[in-house]
């Protein structure tokens, strides 16, 4: 039996890909509800434009896979190309983007430096960087497609895993908060921001910390903002329906802060919008919510297992603010590893061992 802990996009994508391989004995354990974590709290954007070559190379495989899943899944996740637009505020930022532009061009995903005025609805002038290859999709349709595809084949238990049980250096199963023990040959943690809680209990340094982010959506207005626009304190775009959706960038203490939103961040979002976009004063907020980015020391994910880990314990977590777009592809790679022992080179790059060995990736483009 394979136990998957966590029914977010990564756990359910793994389950979906295991099912495609004909694997029968899988149990999913979820502490609250399907999609309780970041998988139903995100902004649903995808991009190729990362800072580190490793994440760019991963995105070059993961994004086409995400797009191709739209055709395969039960619900269409409506992927569409919108572009990303960075407002570059300083000479330092421009010079970083010049280096990135060369790197991106070498991977055939080069964008353009433009005057922000080209987007005539913006009230900013100056240098912007436009990456037309990036886009948007709908997270719920991916999450629930995976759920619908596996729910009649695999049991989902709603309980909190309190402990991973290890014996003779190997995984034996898990215990839950309600006192149940489930025996299993393999345990996979797809527990997002919560992954550290379980790892710490078996003396594995977790390296994953939650960072709460607030995000808002306005009432709908006529569609005109196509790209995701990223400034230093806010990012936003528009849904096809016309709502402006976006979040604020504010330094917050790490930890499991409650899933609330604040007037302060909401005002910051609305004021930021008003300063950057013409004719949006008086726009009302329809709703807001918060979720956790799962932060690692190099803002990049952890997949596979560590050299010193108990045998048959796996992880796929720690995606900072970009894990939704990677969920379909990561689930596929994880299923290849767990079911067929097929180890994609990505497992050596995103290994949990890199932190102790001080081989951190350089991912500085967190959105």
Ligand X SMILES: Cc1cc2nc3c(=O)[nH]c(=O)nc-3n(C[C@H](O)[C@H](O)[C@H](O)COP(=O)(O)OP(=O)(O)OC[C@H]3O[C@@H](n4cnc5c(N)ncnc54)[C@H](O)[C@@H]3O)c2cc1C
- Where on the chain is the footprint of ligand X (CB under 6 A)? 5-11, 29-32, 36-39, 41-45, 160-161, 190-194, 198, 213, 215, 247, 291-293, 317, 319, 321-325
Residue 322 near residue 44 (C-beta atoms within 8 A): no
- In the complex with ligand X, the residue whose CB is nearer, 121 or 256, is 256
d(CA 59, CA 55): 6
Task: Report the nearest approach of ligand X to the CB of residue 22 (Å).
Answer: 23
d(CA 107, CA 114): 20
- In the complex with ligand X, the residue whose CB is nearer, 119 or 290, is 290
Task: Report the nearest approach of ligand X to the CB of residue 282 (Å).
Answer: 25
Greatest alpha-carbon span in the chain: 66
- In the complex with ligand X, the residue whose CB is nearer, 128 or 230, is 230
Return the residue matching tokens 């067929």: 340
Task: Report the nearest approach of ligand X to the CB of residue 131 (Å).
Answer: 14
d(CA 212, CA 230): 19
Task: Report the nearest approach of ligand X to the CB of residue 312 (Å).
Answer: 18
- In the complex with ligand X, the residue whose CB is nearer, 7 or 188, is 7
Task: Report the nearest approach of ligand X to the CB of residue 94 (Å).
Answer: 25
- In the complex with ligand X, the residue whose CB is nearer, 38 or 79, is 38
What would the two tokens of residue 9 be?
């996009």
Main-chain dihedrals φ then ψ at residue 243, nearest 5 degrees: -75, 145
Q: What is the dihedral of CA 248, 252, 254, 258, to 10 degrees?
A: -70
- In the complex with ligand X, the residue whose CB is nearer, 72 or 177, is 177
Of 241, 236, 239, 245, nearest in space to 216 by CA: 245
Contacts of residue 151, Cβ cutoff 8 Å, sequence gap at least 6: none
User: What number of other Cβ atoms are within 10 A of residue 183's Cβ?
Assistant: 11
Task: Report the nearest approach of ligand X to the CB of residue 329 (Å).
Answer: 11
- In the complex with ligand X, the residue whose CB is nearer, 5 or 88, is 5
d(CA 364, CA 34): 31
Contacts of residue 314, Cβ cutoff 8 Å, sequence gap at least 6: 186, 187, 188, 189, 304, 305, 334, 337, 338
Task: Report the nearest approach of ligand X to the CB of residue 366 (Å).
Answer: 10
């Amino acid at each position: 039996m394979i136990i998957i802990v966590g029914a977010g996009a990564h756990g359910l994508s793994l389950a979906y890909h295991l099912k495609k391989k004909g694997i029968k004995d899988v149990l999913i354990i979820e502490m609250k509800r399907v999609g309780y974590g970041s998988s139903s709290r995100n902004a649903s954007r995808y991009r190729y434009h990362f800072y580190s070559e490793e994440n760019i190379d991963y995105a070059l495989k993961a994004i086409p896979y995400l797009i191709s899943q739209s055709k395969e899944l039960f619900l269409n996740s409506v992927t569409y190309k919108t572009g990303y637009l960075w407002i570059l505020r300083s000479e330092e930022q421009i010079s970083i983007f010049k280096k990135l532009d060369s790197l991106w061009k070498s991977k055939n995903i080069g964008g353009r430096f433009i005057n922000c005025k080209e987007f005539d609805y913006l009230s900013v002038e100056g240098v912007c960087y436009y990456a037309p290859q990036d886009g948007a999709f709908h997270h719920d349709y991916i999450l629930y497609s995976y759920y619908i595809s596996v729910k009649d084949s695999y049991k989902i238990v709603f309980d909190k895993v309190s402990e991973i049980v290890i014996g003779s250096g190997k995984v034996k199963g898990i215990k839950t908060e309600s006192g149940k023990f489930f025996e299993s040959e393999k345990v996979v943690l797809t527990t997002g921001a919560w992954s550290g809680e379980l790892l710490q209990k078996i003396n594995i340094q977790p390296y994953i910390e939650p960072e709460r982010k607030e995000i808002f959506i306005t009432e709908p207005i006529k569609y005109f903002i196509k790209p995701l626009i990223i400034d230093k304190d806010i990012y936003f775009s528009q849904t096809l329906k016309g709502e402006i959706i976006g979040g604020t960038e504010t330094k917050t203490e790490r930890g499991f802060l409650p899933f609330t939103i604040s007037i302060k961040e909401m005002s910051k979002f609305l004021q930021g919008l008003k300063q950057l976009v013409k004719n949006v004063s008086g726009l009302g907020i329809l709703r807001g919510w918060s979720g956790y980015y799962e932060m690692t020391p190099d803002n990049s994910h952890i997949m596979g297992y560590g050299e010193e880990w108990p045998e048959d314990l796996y992880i796929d977590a720690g995606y900072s603010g970009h894990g939704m777009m990677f969920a379909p592809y990561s689930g596929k790679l994880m299923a290849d590893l767990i079911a067929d022992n097929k180890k994609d080179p990505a497992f050596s790059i995103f290994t949990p061992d890199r932190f102790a060995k001080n081989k951190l990736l350089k991912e500085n483009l967190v959105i």
